[in-house]
Amino acid sequence: DAGITQSPRYKITETGRQVTLMCHQTWSHSYMFWYRQDLGHGLRLIYYSAAADITDKGEVPDGYVVSRSKTENFPLTLESATRSQTSVYFCASSPTSYNEQFFGPGTRLTVL
Amino acid sequence: SQQGEEDPQALSIQEGENATMNCSYKTSINNLQWYRQNSGRGLVHLILIRSNEREKHSGRLRVTLDTSKKSSSLLITASRAADTASYFCATDGNTGNQFYFGTGTSLTVIP
C-alpha cells in the first residue's frame, strides 16, 4: 500500500526497557521526521533525516536514537524508556525540507 | 522556542459561519504551513505560504501572512461539521530543514 505507515499503533512498556517505533514510507521521499505530541506542547521535532545515512537532531532529541539505512525506513528507538516519554509519536516524510509533510497515523506509547 | 502560537486555543461556531485562527511566530521564516488534525489521526497538510506571499486560497481556505507582524491567519469560510478538528501552524524558522509547530487551535463546528 502506498503511503506512510507506523508500527505499532499502540505500545505499553515499562521504565528502563528499550522500545523501537517503526516508520515506513513508499514514496521514496528524501526527508523523514519524528515528532512527539504532548498536550500543551503541540508537536516537537525529535530527529529528522535528509537522506539515507544522514540524520540530525531536532528540538527534543535526548533519550532517542534514530537510524536510516534505507530511504523508506526511519526507526526511532528509546534506549531506556522513561515515563516522560509517554506520548503520541508521529512520523512524517517529505520530498524536500520545505515542502508539505505527509504524516503517519501515529503511535501511542505509554511508559509505566 | 521558535514555535508558532495559535490563537484562540479553542473555537466553537455554528455550521455555515466563518472560522478564523491566528498564528504568531518569533523568528523570520521562509515558509509557513497550516495543518489539520482530526481526533486520533495524523496531521494533514492544508496550505503552504511563502514569505514573499501575502495571501493564498485553497477552496474554502484563505491564508494571510504578515511578515512585519510575524503573524498568519487561517480563515475557513462556510464551515461544516466535518471541519471539526485541531489546526496547527508550522514555521521553518528560516532554517529550511525543520518546521516548528504551534500548540494548535481546536475548532468545533456545531451542526
Residue A73 DSSP class: B
Q: Which cell goes with B100?
A: 516548528
Higher-confidence residue of B44 and A41: namely: B44
SS3 call for B81: helix
Q: Minimal CA–CA distance to A37: which of A97, A100, A112, A105?
A: A105
Q: Any chain B CB within 8 A of the CB of A103?
A: yes
* Closest CA of chain B from A37, distance in Å: 9
Residue of A nearest to B48 (CA): A100
- pLDDT tops 70 at residue A74: yes
- pLDDT tops 80 at residue B66: yes
Residue B1's pLDDT is 52
Mean pLDDT, range B59-82, rounded to an integer: 97
Chain B residues in contact with A7 (beta carbon < 8 A): none
Residue B97's pLDDT is 72
CB within 8 Å: B44 and A103: yes
Residue A54: CA count within 13 A, CB half-sphere: 9
What does the mean pLDDT of chain B come to? 92
- pLDDT tops 70 at residue B2: no
Task: Name which of B97, B100, B105 to mutate to probe chain A: the one with the most chain A Cβ atoms within 10 A of its Cβ.
Answer: B97
Mean pLDDT, range B13-19, rounded to an integer: 97
Q: Any chain A CB within 8 A of the CB of B98?
A: yes
CB within 8 Å: A48 and B101: no
Residue A96's pLDDT is 87
Pairing of β A107-111 and β A10-13:
parallel
Higher-confidence residue of A1 and B54: namely: B54
- pLDDT tops 60 at residue B44: yes
Spatial separation of the C-alpha atoms in residues B97 and B30, rounded to whole Å: 10
